[in-house]
Amino acid sequence: MDSSSFMGALSATNSAAEYYYFASGNNNNNNNNNNSSSAQAATNENKSLRGGGRADDGEAGENHRAGGNEIQEENLYAARKTREEEEERLSPENREQNVWLEDALSVVKKHAFHMKRAIEENNLRDSLKNASAMLGELRTRQLSPKRYYDLWHNIAFELEFLREFFVNKEEKHGRSAMELYELVQHAGNVLPRLYLLVCVGCVYVESREGKAKDVLRDLVEMAKGCQHPVHGLFLRAYLAQTVKGRGLLPDTGNELEKSGGGTVEDSIEFTLSNFTEMNKLWVRMERFNRQQQQQQQQSGSGGGSGTATPGGAAGGGTGGGEGEGHGNNSEAYGSGSGHGYEQHQQFATSRGIIDSTQLERDRREKERLELRDIVGKNLTVLSQLEGVDIETYSENVLPRVLEQIVNCRDDVAQPYLMIALAQAFPSEYHLATCDDFLSAVCSLKPTVQMSAIFTSLSERLSLYLDEPDLSEEEKTTRRAEFDEKNCVKIFLNRAQEIANENREMSALEIVQIYSSIADFALRQYPNDVNKMNEVLLGVAKAFDAHNVTSEDETRLSMSPQRYIRDQRAVSALVKLLAIPLETFTVDVALSLHAFPKALKLLNPETAGRDCALAIVRGVLKSEKPLSDVKTVETLFKFIAPLLRDSDNKSYEMTDLNTESPMKGSGDLLDALSLREERRGKTRGNINNKKSSDGDEGHEETAQFAEEQMDVAKLLHKIHCPNDWDSQLHLLKLAKVTLFSGGEKRMRFTLPALCYSSMRFAKELLSERELEERKQHPPAKMNDEDAAAAGKLMEEDKPKRTLEELEIFEKHLQTTLKKTLQITHQSAERFSEIPGCAERGLVAWSEAGMFADSAKLSDISYEFFERAFETFDEKLSSDSRAQNRGLTYLIGALQTCVHLEEENRDALVHHCATFANRLLRRADQCAAAANCAHLFWSLKSTAIRDSEGVKKCLNKALKIANQAARALGVSPGESLGLYAHVLNKHLYFFEIETCKAVDVETVQHLLDAIREMIQSGSSEHGGTAAWRDAEAYFGKIKLDIKNKRKIQNETTGGSSVGENAERSIGGDESSRSSSSGSSQFASERYRRLNL
């Protein structure tokens, strides 16, 4: 059938006359519906909120998802939350929207019922009449896009019954598709007529009575008759959905092409034409909403007069009515009443909304955004055509799509359509047209968010290489094509072009564009440092291109010194600068010559701190240690804002080379013990002047504490085990740097420096042990010795000569002394900081234990002496801190076995003295009992004094007796003290060689506690302290019973106390679970009467 006959009129005039009733009856029916709607709107005038309603992204386009729908997921939660809050404020409007929707759906169901009854009766006239009346409900302007979609979806479902009726012409109506196509054009209103045309047109193509290309061209042109944005968009969405769903697009190799219905070029033309018109309607929706809002404001509370859209005749309306013209097959609409807008304004103002006009504008803009998927679906249809290959896409499809996107000049449409285009087509298409795509981005409005477009395109290009199930040959081929295209260079060139030409672009957008390029480059070239350097260089050049006039400085939020002032842009640039630190090694990242150029864009006084923190965290994420001196020096310069305030003087590198006053092992103690001079300088300075950071009494915020903790973690990354001199220099560098940071920083960083130096000292001792094993391998090796021997074999180092061994030992001793000097200086400065005395005591004790394990008795004594000084001078005003500190001192000192006897006796005497000086009797009792461990070492037989143990336990029992008679001690607390003393007695009771505790003493304690419980349970059993003490004593008895059952078990000739070291402050009633009881202890326990 040719085109002329396709578009011709019916030859039989009586047929047209016969169905004139369909058109006129439908018109009358719709007029009645309009009048009833107008009357209802006038009746509910006080509740009317014109054009209200919210829409949901997920519902508004549920069946019309474009290929780029994935990009919306990341903003879904925030958008939905905002939408729900506004819905709560506008709940009256939502209720009216639901009422209007229910009324419309009831009318649809009514006409759909009559339409299906007429179909069953094969009554073509009544079926068309009721279908037209049903479709007339789509002419409403009261519903928001969300509710309009619900209405449209229900009507589209009902139209499927009519389409099936049209298909069965022989059995049902007996009319050809051409006759039906001409017949439905007699519908009285434009919108129902066009829906019926689409429905019949699809049947026309399916029946092969008309060529697909001719019918589709006619349908897409006829759809121009509806110029209302929302109505037109849903009409064209129905057209695209029906055509695509029924497979009516001619494509390469399908039946339509073979039968001469058209080619893939016709399908492309149809889809692009539909896309173009839908985009125009979508963009026009913004102007339509703005005009409608102005009309509502101008009309006030009076009636509205009808106005026609371009191409349509004017129609009249009163109140909430709607007029429609028919000139040039276009649809026109009246302005309607402004009373709803006025009520909405009053309602919003009453709820505390500052600008109701802006709220209304935002609401309409969100309604417009909800229709974006309908427009983007056309791009998905194009991408699914088999005949659209890379050549067709690059020569025919892409230029026309980009032209439409660029010409629309809309802030919402341009970024969405560019992203949808990137997501719809395969990655190989974008690889071939990458330059053309990005050149169009350069032509978009400057206010468009171009960084999202760059990110979307880069993700699609990455899929070209990361696609699963590719063979190695395909991967190699694709990599070669990708490298030949040099997409990163194209991205950088276009980004630079955008920065040069778009003078209105914000600083944040520029940084985000280059951040997306950096992610893309590192994803595809993870080891290419030059790519990252080019990105950072591009950022610096982009801002150089903009820094020309004072207007640019204002627009880019840049200071006259060319610093970025926009906090969001600063944060984005900081994240960009952290990328190379997280990806490459620190020395490589900081050696990029573009890194300082990009860093100059940040103000060191404000943004420098954020950048320094990002650098620190980037280094922490890296798995490689900081082992190069130059790299650490550079790193400290970059993170200087975190290390000291701007008014602090920078440290001098010459301080690092200052020779230690120590000349030999005999002078080490004197070198570390210059207490009088130190007290005159350090303590005097701290007590008589402000701290160097100038913020005395400053209360650290959580953010500051977190930053300094990250700096402390950074110190543990400094590790160079194979080069002792470099490691020592790094520790000195860290010491000088941290000492210049002031007290508020040192309270966080100095403990890390102290323990880092001790870690290095332990590594030195490990090296010495390995060397000793190499020189004198043991005849029998345990597991630890075997592991060490295996390590030596792996290193495959030759055995040192005697001369080399002397040099090695001398070098080790010198390095160890200098390292411990750093530990000493760090602990000293830290313990002098107000509020850090208790933690300083712990640091001194840890250092003393380590020095003792290294058999450096003099240094160990010096560390412990400073710990006791700190306890005596700094903790005297806090009884609880004293108790904790003394417990830790006793626990640390009892592990030391290499101290000289005189020095150890002096320290033990200090512990006993401080135990007597504690404020609370309960603390005195516990401390006296703990001091017993100082007279019996588990590591050395030389420190085993049964008499000293007995004196300490008797002292603890005496204090417990005094506490029981004191008025300020509760019976429950007194019972707990007796149970604690009993537990200490049992500890030494199990040791066979310890004569401090005998059976009579333990039995006496058991009887005393039992009698105390029997006499006081009725009076004091309800208190929490009593219940806890009684439960504690019960555990002790249970432990004794368990050990009494163990017989004929030995522990290799030594007692339980000689096999396991017990914690002083722990629960010692669980001794049997850790090491078991010896036969000796079992026999002694059986002699007790429980």
Mean pLDDT score, 860-866? 93
The pLDDT score that the predictor gives to residue 157 is: 94
- The pLDDT confidence band at residue 963, using thresholds 50, 70 and 90, is confident
pLDDT of residue 87: 54
For position 328, what pLDDT does the model report? 35
Chain centroid, CA 864 distance in Å: 46
In degrees and rounded to multiples of 5, residue 278 shows phi and psi of -65, -40
pLDDT at site 612:
86
Lowest-confidence region among 171-175, 393-397, 758-762, 931-935? 171-175
Sign of the dihedral through C-alpha 589, 591, 592, 598: positive
Contact 612, 639 (CB under 8 A): yes
Instruction: Give the contacts of 785 (CB within 8 A, at least 6 positions apart).
Output: 773, 778
Average pLDDT over residues 660-675: 34
Cβ contact 1078:1051 at 8 Å: yes
Sequence-separated contacts (24+) of 68-76 with Cβ below 8 Å? 68/376, 68/379, 68/416, 68/419, 68/420, 68/421, 68/422, 68/423, 68/424, 68/456, 69/373, 69/376, 69/423, 70/423, 71/419, 71/423, 71/452, 71/456
> Is the pLDDT higher at 60 or at 801?
801
932 pLDDT band, cuts 50/70/90, is: very high
Confidence at residue 796, expressed as pLDDT on a 0 to 100 scale:
52
255-279 pLDDT, tens digit per residue, is: 888 888 889 999 999 999 999 999 9
Give 39 or 790, the one with higher predicted confidence. 790
Residue 802: C-alpha distances to residues 724, 799, 806, 810 (Å): 21, 10, 6, 12
Q: Mean of the pLDDT values across residues 393-409?
A: 93
pLDDT band at 960 (very low <50, low <70, confident <90, very high): very high
Residues 496-522 have a mean pLDDT of 89
What is the mean predicted confidence (pLDDT) over 48-52? 32
pLDDT, tens digit, 9 for 90 and up, residues 169-218: 666 667 888 888 888 888 888 999 999 999 999 989 988 888 899 999 99
- pLDDT exceeds cutoff 50 at 35: no
Contact assessment for residue 66 and residue 379, using Cβ atoms and an 8 Å cutoff: yes
810 pLDDT above the threshold of 60: yes
Instruction: Find the range with the poorest average confidence among 57-66, 428-437, 981-990.
Output: 57-66
- The model's pLDDT over 72-126, given as tens digits with 9 standing for 90+, comes to 444 555 566 565 555 554 557 778 888 899 999 999 999 999 999 999 988 888 9
Determine which of 387-391, 500-504, 1012-1016 has the lowest per-residue pLDDT on average.
500-504
The confidence score (pLDDT) of residue 657 equals: 38
pLDDT of residue 560: 46
Residue 327 or residue 493, greater confidence: 493
pLDDT tier, 298 (very low <50, low <70, confident <90, very high otherwise): low
Indicate the angle between helix axes 971-989 and 921-931, nearest 10 degrees: 0
* DSSP per position, 799-859: PPPHHHHHHHHHHHHHHHHHHHHHHHHHHHHHHTSTT-HHHHHHHHHHHHHHHHHTT-HHH
pLDDT band at 601 (very low <50, low <70, confident <90, very high): confident
| pLDDT score at 424 | 93
Confidence of residue 722 (pLDDT cuts 50, 70, 90): confident
**Average of per-residue pLDDT across 4-14:** 33
Q: What type of residue is 376?
A: G
**CA 1073, CA 772: separation in Å to the nearest integer?**
37
For residue 807, the model assigns a pLDDT of 87
Instruction: Give residue 9's pLDDT.
Output: 32
Give the confidence band of 339 by pLDDT, cuts at 50, 70, 90: very low
As a whole number of angstroms, the distance between CA 95 and CA 99 comes to 6
Q: Which residues neighbour 141 within 8 Å (Cβ) at sequence distance 6 or greater? A: 51, 228, 322, 333, 336
Q: Which of 13-27, 472-486, 558-572, 960-974 has the lowest mean pLDDT?
A: 13-27
Banded model confidence at residue 549, pLDDT cuts 50, 70, 90: very low
d(CA 130, CA 83): 37
pLDDT given at position 331? 37
CA 595 to chain centre: 25
- The confidence score (pLDDT) of residue 365 equals 80
| Sign of the torsion angle spanned by Cα atoms 256, 258, 262, 266 | positive
Mean pLDDT across the chain, nearest whole number? 77
Q: What is the pLDDT of residue 398?
A: 95
Q: What pLDDT does 596 receive?
A: 86
The predicted structure's pLDDT at residue 379: 93
CA 292 to centroid of chain Cα atoms = 42
The DSSP-derived string for 252-266 is: TTSHHHHTTS--HHH
What type of residue sits at position 866?
A: R
Chain centroid offset of residue 183 CA: 61
Q: Which two tokens stand for residue 807?
A: 């040099």
Backbone dihedral region for residue 208 (phi beyond 0: left; psi -120 to 50: alpha; all else: beta):
left
Is the distance from CB of 161 to CB of 189 less than 8 angstroms? no
Residues 398, 280: contact at Cβ < 8 Å?
no
Count of residues for the chain? 1090
CB 573 within 8 A of CB 579: no
Distance of CA 640 to the CA centre of its chain: 27
Given this model, what pLDDT does residue 275 score? 95
Residue 80: the pLDDT is 60
- Residue, of 49 and 426, whose pLDDT is higher: 426
Under 8 Å between Cβ of 95 and 44: no
Maximal C-alpha separation, the chain: 132
At 581-598, the pLDDT tens digits run 888 878 788 888 898 888
46 confidence band (pLDDT: 50, 70, 90): very low
Mean pLDDT value across residues 325-343: 36
Q: Above 70 in pLDDT, residue 492?
A: yes
Task: Tell me: pLDDT of 1074 over 50.
Answer: no
Residues 300-312 pLDDT 10s:
444 433 333 333 3
Task: Look at residue 438 and tell me whether its pLDDT is greater than 50.
Answer: yes
User: In the chain, what are the domain boundaries?
Assistant: 13-64+75-367, 377-644, 671-680+702-833, 836-919, 933-1090
Euclidean distance between the first and the last CA atom of the chain, given in angstroms as a whole number: 114
| Lowest-pLDDT range of 415-429, 507-521, 569-583 | 569-583
Question: Could you please report the per-residue DSSP string of 138-161?
Answer: GG-SSS-HHHHHHHHHHHHHHHHH
Q: What's the mean pLDDT in 458-482? A: 89
CA distance 418 to 420: 5
> Percent of the chain at pLDDT above 70?
73
Q: Pseudo-torsion of CA 1034, 1039, 1041, 1044, nearest 10°? A: -160
Res 605: pLDDT: 73
CA 827/CA 867 separation, integer angstroms: 10
The per-residue pLDDT for 440 is: 94
Helix axes 20-43, 124-135, angle to 10 degrees: 30
Angle at which helix 356-369 crosses helix 264-299, to 10 degrees, equals 170
Task: Report whether pLDDT(136) > 80.
Answer: yes
